[in-house]
Structure 1
């Protein structure tokens, strides 16, 4: 028995790599679920009639809850066993998928997505920490993390294509039912192939720390989201921020006092650890923001069918796979500092291209932007995961893995919340509603571009066309500004990574 980590079974070489395939399947499923809904948003708008705010919550409640619980669930996996928690979480993920598929209204769908986030939080930390148990050799582990990272980033990029294929033939709930056969395969193969491992001296699982981390993440992110949407003047926005910030501060102080903390916040004193977490966070903000607004742009502005829109975003998926697989080689030849900084710069440049996209822009510009964003994100996230995992002691692999995946999911949530709120706010502020439009119809059109498409159908043809033209112009304008702001964030993150990873 190891003094740092208890591993109850040691699989053979062939079973280790097949076990890695099971872990990649798990993380890809969770990543796909974060973005698969993007192409279904127009269909959900037509069927469930959510408000603009509800539509944003349908998109990001999953990632908010997942991000808030990842550290807690990562620490729990160190205590009860990583394989056990992975299999329990997979079962719960299937049950929540059924609830989401048949949600009768927007409130039910938001709740189901939040429950999916709870289940997803039990899956993600176990996948990366089990890799450490399966591959103790540094070089093999770097390759394995590269494959795992390709699965995670490709899953996020593949989500729209999967959604497009399903929506071409079925109703929007089918994007959740897809999870069930994949989860059944995961449960069978995972129980057979994966080793069990956990911290031999885990200590107690501090419930107050769990509550503080969840309340802090959700409170701060909610406040940022509402402020970006132009609701800063409402009292509850600063109140949510103050309460969230206070909860996070109390969480940090509590971790410093506990003999066995839920998260060893001292890890952030390591500049490699901090640079990796920051890079992962900002990369996912960029990727999820691009997927959120480009999926609507392709369908509601360009008129693409869901499947065609998913195919149009395919370069991002291909780039994510290639980037993840090349990361270990790039890091060995150029060094972690140059690779992480270069990846963030390339991603920022790719997103900046979307600031010059118009309603009739050629696909070449879009394809180049998708390819650059996907490839760079694959490199950044895979390298960040490796840096985070190797900076932590082996017996804290679950909690350290959770930091990387919290950055992943928090980035996904913030990308939808911040970028989506900027697009929505600018869209509502610049949409010129034709004179003579009924006030109720005008209000519906200002909620979202999906609402404008629906409202135009109830107007006389000439008036409807004027409303649609104005809605497309306003949406593209908001998308352009949001892309430039997201690109600036990536460039600032590249500068921070370059500074933090300097030789000391």
Structure 2
């Protein structure tokens, strides 16, 4: 349920953006910041939260995260301006960062057999996909009935109820290896991600010649170099670069970034298109994405079956092919009045997204020592949030170009968003290729070497 809540909040806000724009009057870049402030903070803190769960107890950190998430949701529902909403979304993300990696770590420690773990991650993947894909549907219903603030306050009682259930039913677990928090590394990660997101979001508005854009790029380069230097010298780094010597782990991180960038960009473009271009009310726009939610649930279950019976490569190939075909179909339909093909594209995208989660999780965690499950899970979760935030930042620029012009808005949006659909199609093909790389004998041997190296510490 906590996984469903966090991922629901990733996307439920999308359908509320037009309502937020009507009342708070943010620009397109302001709308992007409302979404990406949450995703960026979530991505930056996931690794630290996973490490804290390993050290201080996963159930304890999990409960603190749920209460903080509820508090941030309540504050967001009361935000008087765009700036305050962005700030309160950061509070939400601080709490949410304590949920996903700790949840993955708990799964890894309870389900130690590969087949059982694959099945458990199938259920987890269904919760992730259902939360993200059903966000627009539930958001549309809430916005149309009670306004945009309702998408935040409805999370409060659910989060508190889950916190009580976790306290009663969840067993406590922690790593026998106690690692000191790496606050310097954490700060550098946050600065690096903030610099990247700022540059991507503000580039269309400020232009490539802007001193602020040059400053953003300088911050990205300096923080990236400093992070590499600092982390390699620390005894207990925030990011242990030895993880990335495992080819399956590294490839799974890249696939997660690509998959979530495609999904995040797709949902952001879809919200603008259905409400601002086609003129649909929030509920109808949300209902149009219901096939995507159903496809995600089906894809998650299919992926769990494929991973158990055919291996991760087949599951990832299915995911990549579905994403590529979905984007190709949608790119040709945008700008027309066709709804049948548009819905077919939504089903296929949901199927591909659902199929990707389980093999990515299984590949990332395979062979990792149980004592490092929290950090490995946090890296996997962080890569997803980085991908989604980049998707919103990049594809949001296309939406701004299409909606910000006069005349035939449908044709303008179709032309402006075409590069985005091409990129998502290429992303699907890249997932297939990376799945092949991650499934080879050399990849498995690299994972075994890294696991042995980490066990010695």
TM bucket normalised to smaller: over 0.9
Unaligned residue ranges in structure 1 (runs of 5+) = 1-24, 433-468
Measured at CA, do residues 231 and 490 of structure 1 come closer, stay the same or move farther in structure 2, by a change above 3 Å? farther
In structure 1, what is the equivalent of residue 52 of structure 2? Answer: 76
In structure 2, what is the equivalent of residue 462 of structure 1? Answer: none
In structure 2, what is the equivalent of residue 239 of structure 1? Answer: 215
Moved more, 183-192 or 260-269: 260-269
SS at match of 1:122: coil
Measured at CA, do residues 312 and 404 of structure 1 come closer, stay the same or move farther in structure 2, by a change above 3 Å? same
Residues 395-428 of structure 1 deviation map (CA, whole Å, 9 limit, x = unaligned): 1111100111111111111111111113323554
Measured in 2, the distance between the counterparts of 1:242 and 1:300 equals: 36
The answer to whether the 8 Å contact 1:28/1:154 transfers is yes
Larger Rg: 1 or 2?
Answer: 1
In structure 1, what is the equivalent of residue 317 of structure 2? Answer: 341
1:56 aligns with 2:27: no
In structure 2, what is the equivalent of residue 212 of structure 1? Answer: 188
1:170 aligns with 2:146: yes
Residues 475-498 of structure 1 deviation map (CA, whole Å, 9 limit, x = unaligned): 232223321222223323432343
The answer to whether the 8 Å contact 1:279/1:340 transfers is no
Residues 418-445 of structure 1 deviation map (CA, whole Å, 9 limit, x = unaligned): 11113323554xx24xxxxxxxxxxxxx
Residues 162-181 of structure 1 deviation map (CA, whole Å, 9 limit, x = unaligned): 10111121011000011012
Measured in 2, the distance between the counterparts of 1:77 and 1:168 equals: 39
In structure 2, what is the equivalent of residue 363 of structure 1? Answer: 339
Measured in 1, the distance between the counterparts of 2:373 and 2:231 equals: 17
1:143 aligns with 2:113: no
The answer to whether the 8 Å contact 2:57/2:173 transfers is yes
Alignment map for 1:103-252 (pairs within 5 Å): 103-227=79-203, 231-252=207-228
Equivalent residue for 1:488, pick from 410, 426, 430: 426
Measured in 2, the distance between the counterparts of 1:363 and 1:370 equals: 10
Measured at CA, do residues 497 and 235 of structure 1 come closer, stay the same or move farther in structure 2, by a change above 3 Å? farther
Equivalent residue for 1:479, pick from 406, 417, 432: 417
SS at match of 2:237: coil
Moved more, 358-367 or 135-144: 358-367
The answer to whether the 8 Å contact 1:67/1:121 transfers is yes
The offset of 1:228, in angstroms, is 5.6
In structure 2, what is the equivalent of residue 287 of structure 1? Answer: 263
The offset of 1:229, in angstroms, is 5.6
In structure 2, what is the equivalent of residue 264 of structure 1? Answer: 240
The answer to whether the 8 Å contact 1:60/1:416 transfers is yes
The answer to whether the 8 Å contact 1:44/1:172 transfers is yes
Equivalent residue for 1:411, pick from 387, 392, 396: 387
User: What is the total number of aligned residue pairs between the two structures?
Assistant: 442
Measured in 1, the distance between the counterparts of 2:438 and 2:55 equals: 32
Equivalent residue for 1:322, pick from 273, 283, 298: 298
The offset of 1:289, in angstroms, is 1.0
1:499 aligns with 2:437: yes
The answer to whether the 8 Å contact 1:272/1:388 transfers is yes
Normalised to the residue count of structure 2, the TM-score between the two structures is 0.92
The offset of 1:122, in angstroms, is 1.4
RMSD, aligned α-carbons: 1.7
In structure 2, what is the equivalent of residue 463 of structure 1? Answer: none
SS at match of 1:136: coil
Equivalent residue for 1:423, pick from 396, 399, 404: 399
Unaligned residue ranges in structure 2 (runs of 5+) = 443-457
